[in-house]
Amino acid sequence: MSTDDANDAIPTPVICGGFGGNYAEEVKSCFFMNPYSTGSTNWTYLGGMAVGRHQAASVVINGDTLWITGGYNQNEQGTSNLEGVLGTTEVIKMIKSLNSPNPEFSTVSGPYLSTKVKHHCMIQINSSMVILIGGNTRNSLRDSGTAFFRVGGDTWHNAWIAQNITGPRLSYGRSQHVCGIMIDPTYSPPDGANSTNSEGEGQLIVVAGGEGDIRGNGTTEFLKLGIIDAWILGPEVPLKISGAAGIVTPDKDKFLMIGGHTSKSEVGKWETEDLATIFILEFIWIDSNSGAWEWSKLEQELKAASSGHSAFLLPADFDSDNCTLI
């Protein structure tokens, strides 16, 4: 999250929920990295959610609001086949700037989703629209559904979501996938128009990997915003990966798939294996008029194989020498 009320605005990671602690249960607590602290005190408690959750998805809206959706809580299990999958949401709102030594946040319950879901992903398309993609839902362990949320207003109640619009279905249902929003290099705006508009034209959503069948899903799909109302299949990921972290580079021209897990056959059965790999998706021009999306593997890897993690970009001038492992 960050604030735009000053040129030297400070972005900060916010962490909410998860699974663990002394009682091996879903966590309610939220923390942010305080830029005015050092060492192990970097992470500062900012409040708690109404319901502890993990396997949730979140999206930052307009730099100062974190919307946390769905997920799983073992104590919410009932007689339904959803077994603890959540349809509730939580809202973390910045009410005092991170440029202040004492930033403040509010935490409130958000509107209910139209379906209970976990292992999904969410993206902010523009200042008033968010998309939810796939996941484990009431109807499917690997759902292909998508939904657009047109947001607006000053309150976090049902009125805050003016519209919940069913979006086009993915070609392949998936959960534990990665997604992001990128610039469409092939887009040609009409004469006199900007490179992108309020409905997202000139951008495309990328979805990759995730749980497909027992061996995972190695496909990539694109949705060209404002132009095409169906997903387009892209290049195969070199490995069938789920549980990875996805990052779009600042210029929105490259997409990173970091870590995750894949499956391999061991003595007649499939076993999962955590990965340290980093794959990058980018558009490679063949000539001045044509090109293709391609995945490639970076030489750099994680120091430790990992899946089910999060990742975020750091400023180019970040001083890693003063970074403390906690």
Please write the tens of the pLDDT for every residue from 201-250. Answer: 789 999 999 987 655 688 999 999 877 689 999 999 999 999 999 999 99
Beta strands in 76-160 (DSSP E): 89-96, 104-109, 117-118, 121-126, 129-137, 143-151
Q: Is residue 181 predicted with pLDDT exceeding 80?
A: yes
Give the pTM.
0.85
25/40 Cα distance (integer angstroms): 24
Q: How confident is the model at residue 162 (pLDDT cuts 50, 70, 90)?
A: very low
Which residues, 6 or more positions from 290, have their beta carbon under 8 angstroms from its beta carbon? none
Q: What is the pLDDT of residues 267-315, one digit of tens each?
A: 556 678 899 999 999 999 998 888 999 999 999 999 999 998 888 877 6
- Nearest partner of 244 among 307, 181, 304, judged by Cα: 307
Cβ proximity of 117 and 130 under 8 Å: no
* Terminal-to-terminal C-alpha distance of the chain: 21
317: its two tokens:
């001038």
Q: Which of 39-43, 67-71, 119-123, 235-239 has the least mean pLDDT?
A: 39-43
Question: Going from the N-terminus, what domains does the chain have, and what CATH number goes with each?
Answer: 1-167 (2.120.10.80), 171-316 (2.120.10.80)
Q: Is residue 164 predicted with pLDDT exceeding 80?
A: no
> Mean pLDDT over all residues of the chain?
80
Q: Is residue 187 predicted with pLDDT exceeding 70?
A: yes
Maximum mean pLDDT: which of 7-16, 143-152, 264-273: 143-152
Q: What is the pLDDT of residues 55-65, one digit of tens each?
A: 999 998 877 88
Query: What is the side-by-side strand order in the sheet with 291-297?
Result: 245-248, 254-258, 278-285, 291-297
Please tell me what DSSP assigns to residue 82. Answer: T
| Amino acid at residue number 127 | S
Phi, psi of 99 (to 5 degrees): -75, -5
